[in-house]
Every structure is written in C-alpha cells, then in structure tokens.
Amino acid sequence: MIWVAATLIAATAQTARNAAQAGLTRQIGTLGATAVRFVFGFPFAILALGLTAVWVPIPRPDAAVLGWAALGSMAQIAATALMLVTMRGQGFGVATALMKTEPVTLALIGAVLLAEPLGLSRLGAIGLATLGVVLASGATWSRMAWKPMATGILSGALFGLSAIGFRGALLALPDGSYGIRAITILAITLGLQTVAMAAWLVLYDRPALAGIMAQWRVSLVAGLLGAFASLFWFIGFALTPAANVRTLALVEVVMAQALSGRVFRQAVAPLQLLGMGLILAGVGWLLAAT
C-alpha cells in the first residue's frame, strides 16, 4: 500500500503549500501566487532528476508522454488560479472543501479517458467522502453566491483533469520504476508550467513578477512544498487509479479545517465535525474496497 503513504505525505505538504500561497495572493495577486509553485518548484525537480540520473537511467518521453503531461500541466495551472480566487472570496477551509468535489468528476473522467471504471463499492466510498466534504465546508449553501461556488467546483474538476493527464503521462513512459517515473514526469510538467507562467508574466504582468522576486523567501518555501507534494502525488498516480488517490486525499479537508482553526482563527461547527467523520468513513471504505 505504498500509494496510501505517498498520498498522505502529499496531502500534508499540499495543505502547507496552499496556506503559503493564500498569503502570497494578497501581496502579489492571483497569477503571481499561481506561478510561485511552478517557477520555484522547478529547480527542486531538476535537482531531484539530476541526482537520480547519476544512479539509474532516466526513461525517454515520447510524444504521447509529452501530450499527457501538457494536458495535466495546463489544467493544473488553471485549477490553481481558480483555487486562489476561491480562497480570496471564502475561508481557507471552505475553499478547500469546494475543490474537493474533485473525486466525483475524476472518477467519471478516468473511466472515459483511461478506461479505469471503479466499481459500485469504490464509487459509493467516493460519494460518501464527497458528502462529508459538503458538510465539512461549513458553508450556508443557500446563501452562498454562485460565483465562488462555481469557481471552487470548477477548480476541483480541473484538478481532476490534471490528475488524469499526469497518470496518463506516467503510464505512457516506456520503462522505469514508479519512483523514476514520478521524478521524470515531475521535471517535465514543472518545466512546461514554468515556461508558460514565466512567459505570461513577462508579457502581461511584470508587476507580479517583481512581487514574486520581492517575496522570494516565502515563494521558495511554497515552491519546495509544491514540488515535494507533486512528487508524492505522482508516486500515488503511478501505482493506482487517480480517483483512489484523490479520494484518500480528502483527509486534506480535515487538515485544512484544523489549520483554519489554529492559524486563521475560524471556528468549527458540529455539522463540520460530522462531515469530517463522513470523510474518514468514506476513505476507510475506499481502502477496504481497494
């Protein structure tokens, strides 16, 4: 069950990275904060790939690998931008919960694009955990404006599409262990994302680029955490369908609520605690079914 450990490590690192990015959004804007995880994460990915290449051969990507990686990379950029917009308009825990409707769309997309149907038992587990997400958000859905709800859910759907792209790239590599595949795809995707974001900032948003450089210490931490989290996401994707990984990752909602309470001083209501319990029950059901 290596994918279980990899997913839990990735979810923990991602929660910390999201908190760092949320703070950067207020200082350098949405696009600047979006670029941080890619631009400052890429050097760490190259370092990991270089150290790995000293000991073992690195698989050579073909057009199919690059195509899947590009799909995942661009979908992740759009998803991250929408995530930060949602965080700016809602609480940290609520925004995270909205995005974590992702496993439902991910299961459907995976069945269509990668022919990975999950079966009734695992779909039931995904549904239960997603219901827990809705309750754990603490949002008054009847009063919530449609725009933040739409951006949060769309962000989750795009994160799901990005996960499909990354798993497709990992499976398309001709050889290598799951660890080598993960490091290789990490370097490729962060490279594509860095080029895309850097070009956009240079051409259209130079003040954000200057802000990133001014906030380089926080940006470096966010980039390191982002690269570290992505590496373990990719290890999980290399070993099991992406919907399994993302459903288990719903424990991040529990982590986000705990972080909201301690750092952002946001109270947790009894209904939210029930939602967290349903998330954990759904995750347990998924592990049993898997």
Q: How many helices (H) and strands (E) does the chain have?
A: 13, 0
How many whole angstroms from its chain centre is CA 158? 10
pLDDT of residue 218: 82
Three-state DSSP state, 203:
helix
Which distant-in-sequence residues (6+ apart) come within 8 Å of 284 by Cβ? Answer: none
Average pLDDT per consecutive 10 residues, the chain (290 residues; last block may be shorter)? 90 78 74 83 94 92 94 89 72 65 74 73 81 70 64 84 92 91 96 91 85 84 89 93 83 67 57 78 78
Question: In the chain, what are the helix, strand and coil shares in percent, each to the nearest 5?
Answer: 85, 0, 15
Cα 179 from Cα 166, distance rounded (Å): 14
Name the token pair of 43. Answer: 């050097």
Cα 255 from Cα 237, distance rounded (Å): 21
Cα 188 from Cα 2, distance rounded (Å): 23
pLDDT of residue 260: 59
pLDDT of residue 109: 75
Average pLDDT over the chain, rounded to an integer: 81
pLDDT of residue 146: 65
pLDDT of residue 264: 47
pLDDT of residue 256: 65
